[in-house]
Amino acid sequence: MPFKQTNTALFFSTIDAIPQKIWEDLSCSKNIYFHPHFLKAIEKNHPNILFHYIVLLDDKNCATAFASLKIINFQLKTIKNDFGFLKKISVKLGVLSEKKELKLLICGNTFVSGEHGIFVKEHQNKKGIVKELAESIVRFVEANQKLNKQIDAYLLKDFVKESIAITYVLKEFNYNSFSVEPNMQLQLQENWHHFDDYLASIKTKFRVKARKAFALSTNIRIEEVTLENLSQNLPKMTILYKKVAENATFNLGVFNLETYHNLKEAFGTNYILKTYWLEKEIVGFMSGIVNGNTLDAHFVGIDYQRNKTHAIYQRMLYDYIETGIHRKLKKINFGRTASEIKSGVGAVPQDLTIYIRHKKTIKNKILKLFLQRIKPTPFDQKFPFKK
């Protein structure tokens, strides 16, 4: 059951508790990330995460906005980039601890890049909604004595450049902003009817690179993953995914691949899962979801040794493009990581901003100094398309 903290906000601790009327009021299901089936699939398969949801109401008791919250335990050691000296300073100043886990309340999707934490209904004052949500998050925590003692910091993630004018209101609540690795995005051209049209649009140098990747991966067999064969493939897929996750410079959580059962069940062919085989062995997999006119790349798994000899990852990137063209979509979100490689197939960076606030005022001020030094890792942006 929800408990009502104010006249304008409802709090829920499970998707199943949210009444159908609220989903009808919001009309948010066209966006996959706010579809109750998607949210339920994530919630059901990640028992180590605490899930909560906020629904804002207008004066007629109609839902106007929705926020998805996750509470996680974050360990400093999961940051594996070159911020070593910054980590040491923050530990010395007591902002972070190498021994104690930081309990983070996150508004957003901990597994996927993008603005997937807050949904605002059409014709609403978005700046006012964001302000109201910030207030509601604090009230929600303060109303729960146990949570109020445990939560160390609040984090609202992955706002695109166009939203900054709206989310800037979070500064009033002492949130600090910083830029993270960009989402790499590829616009699909209307005159690309087949993958060959894409190849024809790129410069010779990059076309040669693509041909080489296809030549190296010629012995790889690609198979669709269905509900019928998912269970038998999942153990090997999980091993390959963990290899990729271990290599990541920054992780807010490990995704449970069992979630694919629910996602395939709910979204069918709109949830894309493919395995890459060498003879009788899975050496890679890719996943993604069709969200409106966009294909979002989700998790991949790679046998890194075979990747060197068979260009598995490069082939996956081209497969995402081929799938997007075949489905007549407009855009591919490749997500974060491997920015330079993704730019080599035509993707360009979409800047993302995160807001964070430590509950303790002094620590929050020190955190601000820490965050000012964090910049996305620079990379050599490629420009493969002909002018």
Q: Which of 186, 271, 194, 280 is nearest to 232 (CA)?
A: 280
Q: Where are the domains of the chain?
A: 3-181+351-372, 189-329
Q: What is the CA radius of gyration of the chain?
A: 22
Dist. CA 258–CA 44, nearest whole Å: 10
Phi, psi torsion values for 150, nearest 5 degrees: -85, -40
Helix axes 259-267, 230-247, angle to 10 degrees: 120
- Quick check: 13 pLDDT over 90? yes
For the residues 19-46, what does the mean pLDDT come to? 96
For 3-181+351-372, CATH gives: 3.40.630.30
For the residues 200-205, what does the mean pLDDT come to? 97
**Chain mean pLDDT for the chain:** 91
Give the CA dihedral 335, 47, 135, 57, nearest 10 degrees. 90
Q: Which of 212, 217, 203, 184 is nearest to 338 (CA)?
A: 184
Decide yes or no: CATH 3.40.630.30 for domain 189-329. yes
For the residues 53-81, what does the mean pLDDT come to? 85
- Quick check: 294 pLDDT over 50? yes
- Give 48-106 as a 3 state SS string: CCEEEEEEEECCCCCEEEEEEEEEEEECHHHCCCCCHHHHHHHHHCCCCCCCCCEEEEE
For tokens 């926020």, the residue is 67
For the residues 366-378, what does the mean pLDDT come to? 84
pLDDT confidence of residue 85: 47
Query: Which of these ranges, 76-85, 86-95, 98-107, 171-180, has the smallest mean pLDDT?
Result: 76-85
- Quick check: 301 pLDDT over 70? yes
pLDDT confidence of residue 185: 98
pLDDT (tens digit per residue) in 123-169? 899 999 999 999 999 999 999 899 999 999 999 999 999 999 999 99
pLDDT (tens digit per residue) in 160-187? 999 999 999 999 999 999 998 999 999 9
Label residue 328 left, alpha or beta by phi (over 0 means left) and psi (-120 to 50 means alpha): left
Q: Which residues pair with 290 in a beta bridge?
A: 295
Helices (H), the chain: 20-26, 36-44, 84-92, 126-143, 145-150, 164-167, 195-201, 204-216, 230-247, 259-267, 304-310, 312-326, 339-343, 361-372
Q: Which residue has the higher pLDDT, 370 or 190?
A: 190
Helix axes 361-372, 84-92, angle to 10 degrees: 160
Say whether 250 sits in a helix, a strand or coil: coil
* Strand 281-291 with 271-278, pairing: antiparallel
For the residues 341-347, what does the mean pLDDT come to? 97
